[in-house]
């Protein structure tokens, strides 16, 4: 790249030179840390992504060296390319912080607050965003959207109520498979992810929609309800796969492999292989190779300190003191007649059951009926 193609851009008072054509978001990611705006729909490995969710809004306080006028409105940094001499404010702009809180409120209008039972909890970008910018109550007075259930096949579970219509899974199916069978049907309030005529998503690379989904709308049926991500130990591993790069992260508890995912970078996007290609993984690696012996383990995966999976991520902000609420306080003075300890009622820790290996989600039957599965 010749030098005249480099543009100087200043984001949150930090100046960087980037090639012409770079977006403000990519330039901010090159600086890193909090300077990089959140992005719920942009995915650098998917062509055409971005411009849907508005979480990446920034203020352009100086357009360029030639035309220093500020841009009149906040702009989506994932879709705005830098100009030479441009000055941008992200976390240093009150307007941006305020707008982001508004965007989060909109995203949460219909999104259920079911993090306690959602498999994406702990690695959900919307959960992080709500924690940073959300409010503790809602102003929305209407019923949240509900949808007819669509079965996407044996490996992928769709929870449409959680979808934020970012289109990432649609671009993934378009760009990684030879025939896309799902998409966004209808418009506006009725828009939903569906296959129109019930079809299962079974292309060999379709499992990647689970990794790109920023929320818990698309989750892995082989992992569903079996464990929480923060109890698992991520390990880098690889195998000689004829279909994909075979470079994955195993999510283990002891020797049990609960889940297999692509390796993700600090922006939550699939990491590049050493050959510089996106490290998408195939369904066989993701759903079928659930034995430690299927893999060559490289070592523990480093988890960023900022990640919610890292221990104590929220501790500094919430504090380590016990919450003040008691049952009586939240129950308007009524105290419960009976409190049950789950461990007295159910043998949930049966040592002969490997949750990572049972078919489908684990529930009462797994523990209470005669279970044929043996470790």
Binding mask 13-52 for ligand FES (x = CB under 6 A): --------------------------xxxx-------xxx
Q: Is 124 in the site for ligand SF4 (CB under 6 A)?
A: no
Q: Is 99 in the site for ligand FES (CB under 6 A)?
A: no
* Residue closer to ligand SF4 (CB basis): 229 or 237: 229
**Cα(8)–Cα(356) distance, rounded to whole angstroms?**
50
Decide if 342 contacts 348 (C-beta within 8 A).
yes
Q: Which of 78, 99, 124, 218 binds ligand FES (CB under 6 A)?
A: 78
Please, what is the minimum distance in Å from the beta carbon of residue 194 to ligand SF4?
10
Which residues lie across from 248 on neighbouring strands? Answer: 237, 262
Please, what is the minimum distance in Å from the beta carbon of residue 39 to ligand SF4?
12
Residue 350: which residues within 8 A CB-CB, separation 6 or more? Answer: 367, 371
Residue 249: which residues within 8 A CB-CB, separation 6 or more? Answer: 234, 235, 236, 237, 260, 261, 262, 263, 264, 301
Q: Is 173 in the site for ligand FES (CB under 6 A)?
A: no
* Residue closer to ligand SF4 (CB basis): 27 or 193: 193
Residue ranges of alpha helices (H) inside the chain are 24-31, 94-107, 125-133, 168-176, 208-212, 283, 315-318, 327-330, 342-345, 364-368
Q: Is 96 in the site for ligand SF4 (CB under 6 A)?
A: no
Decide if 56 contacts 70 (C-beta within 8 A).
no
**Cα(215)–Cα(118) distance, rounded to whole angstroms?**
9
Q: Is 193 in the site for ligand SF4 (CB under 6 A)?
A: yes
Q: Which of 213, 244, 248, 282 binds ligand SF4 (CB under 6 A)?
A: 213
When CB distances are held under 5 to 8 angstroms depending on the partner's kind, the choice from ligand SF4, ligand FES, none that residue 163 binds is ligand SF4
Half-sphere exposure of 153 (CA within 13 A, CB side): 18
When CB distances are held under 5 to 8 angstroms depending on the partner's kind, the choice from ligand SF4, ligand FES, none that residue 216 binds is none
**Dmax of the chain from CA atoms?**
76
Q: Is 169 in the site for ligand FES (CB under 6 A)?
A: no
Binding-site size, ligand FES (CB under 6 A): 13
Burial (CB count <10 Å: 0-12, 13-18, 19+), residue 299 = exposed
Q: Is 262 in the site for ligand SF4 (CB under 6 A)?
A: no
Decide if 55 contacts 39 (C-beta within 8 A).
yes
* Residue closer to ligand FES (CB basis): 80 or 195: 80
Binding mask 218-237 for ligand SF4 (x = CB under 6 A): x-------------------
Choices 132-140, 208-216, 231-239, 275-283; region in contact with ligand SF4 by CB under 6 A: 208-216
* Residue closer to ligand SF4 (CB basis): 117 or 338: 117
Question: Which two structure tokens, joined as six digits, stand for 250?
Answer: 């195993």
**Cα(137)–Cα(221) distance, rounded to whole angstroms?**
32
Binding-site size, ligand SF4 (CB under 6 A): 14
The residue ranges that bind ligand FES (CB under 6 A) are: 39-42, 50-56, 76, 78
The residue ranges that bind ligand SF4 (CB under 6 A) are: 163-169, 193, 212-215, 217-218
């Amino acid at each position: 790249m010749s030098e005249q193609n480099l543009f100087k851009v200043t984001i949150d008072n930090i100046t960087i030179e980037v090639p012409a054509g770079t977006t403000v978001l990519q330039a901010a990611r090159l600086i890193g840390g909090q300077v990089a705006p959140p992005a719920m729909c942009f995915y650098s490995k998917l062509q055409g992504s971005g411009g849907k969710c508005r979480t990446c809004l920034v203020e352009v306080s100086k357009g360029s060296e030639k035309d220093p006028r500020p841009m009149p409105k906040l702009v989506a940094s994932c879709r705005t390319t830098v100009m030479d001499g441009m000055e941008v404010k992200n976390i240093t702009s009150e307007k941006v912080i305020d707008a982001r809180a508004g965007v989060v409120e909109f995203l949460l209008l219909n999104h259920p607050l079911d993090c306690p039972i959602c498999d994406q909890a702990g690695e959900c970008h919307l959960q992080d965003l709500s924690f940073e910018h959300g409010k503790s109550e809602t102003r929305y007075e209407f019923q949240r959207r509900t949808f007819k259930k669509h079965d996407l096949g044996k490996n992928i579970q769709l929870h449409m109520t959680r979808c934020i219509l970012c289109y990432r899974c649609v671009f993934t199916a378009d760009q990684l498979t030879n025939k896309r069978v799902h998409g966004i049907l209808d418009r506006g309030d009725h828009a939903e992810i569906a296959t129109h005529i019930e079809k299962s998503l079974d292309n060999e690379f379709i499992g990647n929609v689970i990794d790109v989904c920023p929320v818990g709308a698309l989750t892995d049926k082989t992992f569903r309800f079996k464990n929480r991500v923060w109890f698992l130990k991520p390990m880098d591993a690889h195998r000689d796969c004829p279909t994909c790069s075979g470079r994955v992260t195993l999510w283990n508890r002891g020797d049990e492999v609960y889940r297999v995912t692509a390796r993700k970078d600090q922006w939550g996007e699939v990491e590049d292989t050493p050959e510089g290609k996106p490290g998408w993984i195939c369904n066989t690696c993701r759903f079928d190779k659930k034995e430690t012996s299927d893999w060559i383990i490289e070592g523990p995966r480093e988890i960023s300190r900022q990640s919610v999976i890292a221990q104590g991520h929220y501790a500094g902000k919430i504090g380590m003191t016990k919450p003040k609420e008691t049952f009586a306080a939240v129950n308007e003075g009524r105290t419960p007649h009976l409190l049950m300890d789950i461990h007295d009622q159910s043998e949930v820790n049966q040592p002969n059951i490997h949750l990572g290996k049972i078919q489908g989600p684990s529930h009462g039957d797994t523990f209470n009926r005669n279970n044929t599965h043996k470790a």
